[in-house]
Amino acid sequence: MSLCFLAAATFWLLNAMNRDHSADVQYPVIFKYDDQQLTNNEEKPQEIRFQAYGQGWDLAKLKLNWFVDPIEVNISNKKRYRYVLTSDLKPYLEDKLQDLEIRYFLNDTVYTGLDKVKKVKMKIYLDREAIKLAKDYKIDGAIRISPEYIIATGPSSVLDTLTKKILIKISDKDIAEEYKEEINLPSPPNNLVHYDMDKVEVSFQVTEHKRPFTE
């Protein structure tokens, strides 16, 4: 009995898949761009959603993302880079899906996830409170940081939210002589932001602070 039911269900499924149907489906879109001017904030490809009409097998391939070759769209308009109209993508889809009819789109725009590349100056500050000198020693003169500024590069929407200073700390203890070391910068607060260098040099003089003699 169960074998008969399985055979009947298989026959029905195969028969249904060979007929024409309509279904809401999605298709991946990859945006190509000049990475000197734009950067991608999205980790996965964007998708265009639409209703298609055609053979069940072709619709199933889209539903299950089988053997789907993404659309590649060049973004060359410097003013309109955040989104693309779905109507502009229709010729790309028709070229990829020649056996399906595209009836209508489920959204009128596809957001690219792109943002303008921005460079900003970040000033380096040393945490003076965390400097651990030897007993009876003090810093003599100015603390020098070289370079005093570094360049951060990343999406403008991310950089605009960040403070433009970087705080560094010295891990050495009991400092009792001239200090001159390279200090690693902390990692950027966002993985889409990159610094043009990963360390700076910190130097300063120290002197012994003579305490007055008391009996």
- Compute the distance between CA of residue 58 and CA of residue 40 in angstroms, rounded to an integer: 31
Mean pLDDT computed over 68-95: 88
Model pLDDT for residues 129-172, shown as the tens digit of each residue:
989 999 989 999 999 999 999 999 999 999 999 999 999 999 99
> Are 72 and 123 in a shared domain?
no
> Are 83 and 122 in a shared domain?
no
> Are 7 and 103 in a shared domain?
yes
Which of 210, 194, 206, 122 lies closest to 170, judged by CA? 206
Average pLDDT, the chain: 85
Q: Is residue 214 part of a domain?
A: no
> Are 49 and 67 in a shared domain?
yes
- Domain termination residue (choose one: 111, 132, 154): 111
In a 10 Å sphere around its CB, with 0-12 CB exposed, 13-18 middle and 19+ buried, how is residue 62 labelled?
Answer: buried
One-letter amino acid of 175: I
> Are 95 and 142 in a shared domain?
no
- Compute the distance between CA of residue 78 and CA of residue 110 in angstroms, rounded to an integer: 17
Neighbours of 107 (CB within 10 A): 11
Q: Which residue has the higher pLDDT, 210 or 38?
A: 38
Residue ranges in the chain assigned as alpha helix (H): 2-17, 56-63, 86-96, 156-159
> Are 203 and 121 in a shared domain?
yes
The pair of structure tokens assigned to 140 is 């003599």
Tally of structural domains, the chain: 2
One-letter amino acid of 37: Q
Give percent above pLDDT 70 in the chain. Answer: 88
Domain that holds residue 127: 116-208
